[in-house]
Amino acid sequence: MRKAKRTILIAMLILAGFVPLYAARPARSKGKLKHPTALELLDKYAATADKFQSFILKSETSRKINYTGIQTIVEPKAITEVRYDGDRCFVKMLQWGKRRIKSKEFIPKEEADCVRHLWDGKLWLNYTDSERGAEYDRIKINRTSEGYKGMSTGLDYGSFLRGFFHGGKKGRIDSILRQENSASVRADMEKIGESDCYVIEADTKHGKYTFWIDPSHGYHIAKAEIQRNEIQWYNHRMSRAAPKDVRQFYSLKDVRFKKVQDVWTPVEGHVEQSTYSPRGDALIELHHVVTDITLNPDHDTLGSFEPDFIRNGALVGVVGVKGIKYRWQDGQVVDEDGREVDVDKLIKAESDKVKNPKPIRK
């Protein structure tokens, strides 16, 4: 009887919580979650960015440029179409507004200048048409891709939304930072808009970089800040020596994202670029909005990289060939007699003249 009463008492104490059923476990500490490394974040960024290897992109850009050294403000506007397939590239740009530094001329939108650039994998050309007629149109031809490379970093093309930042080493930012191997991730995430973002910092020979990576929008760049000195900025732009005491500050902010074919992509952003030098400062503000984008179009069917927009009779200049001008006729470069000109042979002949100049007669 006593044994039964004792058993009932123990059971009651257990239910009341006075006697532990199991030994108490020590509480686990809640430490901070481990952030991805800078390289892991760059991998995630690249995985999304690489999905945009082939596209047709249309956009609108407005700029305000204040040159304090000559006390003038330029406010050009542009509508741009970019076609790209991972190698070949076509750009069409309509430009209007107050565009020239030393002129008060204002070009209305309905009279916008039209400039086209094309790299078809073999030939680079720049084409400007004229309201005065085809004979006043101008084409510049180059057999190298140097001109095309500049197209990937132009401010007006919105390339900063795709990781190409104007004024420094050419290439997408993840590729640049991998080569430097100096990137690190801040301990704390920071909020940009409604998103918690990882912050990558890198101090490189090309400048100091800070990027805010947004994991909720495909690990794209939600904000960026770049600082460069005269060497870092100038040696990628000019062959001559850099001026002293030049500094450049570059920022990207107010980035808006949109899903395109189930892939996040940046479609709007605001850039501020300040260049300070003893000769005067240049302050650039640029706002870029993507109005339409098509991923993986059939470029061959569309003829995206065909020079069919060039009018017969346009004047042709070949880079590296001085003093001789040709014309464009039915997709070919021709001489004054209408005979087709082999551009490759022409460039090679001019190059040989430079390498092996004729001896000067005494």
The count of other CB atoms within 10 Å of the CB of residue 52 is: 19
Query: Which residue shows structure tokens 């005979």?
Result: 339
> pLDDT of 212-271, one tens digit each?
999 999 999 999 999 987 555 544 444 455 566 778 899 999 999 999 999 999 999 999
For 142, phi then psi, to 5°, come to -140, 135
Q: Residue 109 is encoded by which pair of tokens?
A: 């939108």
Structural domains in the chain, CATH included, are 38-302 (2.50.20), 315-353 (no CATH)
Among the listed residues 91, 209, 234, the one whose alpha carbon sits nearest the alpha carbon of residue 157:
91
Q: How far apart are CA 352 and CA 361, in angstroms?
A: 19
**Surface-to-core class of residue 70, CB atoms within 10 Å of its CB (0-12 exposed, 13-18 middle, 19+ buried):** exposed
**Contact criterion met (CB below 8 Å) for 341 and 321:** no
Q: Higher-confidence residue: 131 or 153?
A: 131
- The string of pLDDT tens digits covering residues 264-310 is 999 999 999 888 887 778 888 999 999 999 999 999 999 999 999 99
The reported pLDDT for the residue numbered 355 is: 53
Read off the pLDDT of residues 3-16 as tens digits, 9 standing for 90 and up: 554 554 444 444 44
Retrieve residue 236's tokens. Answer: 């990628």
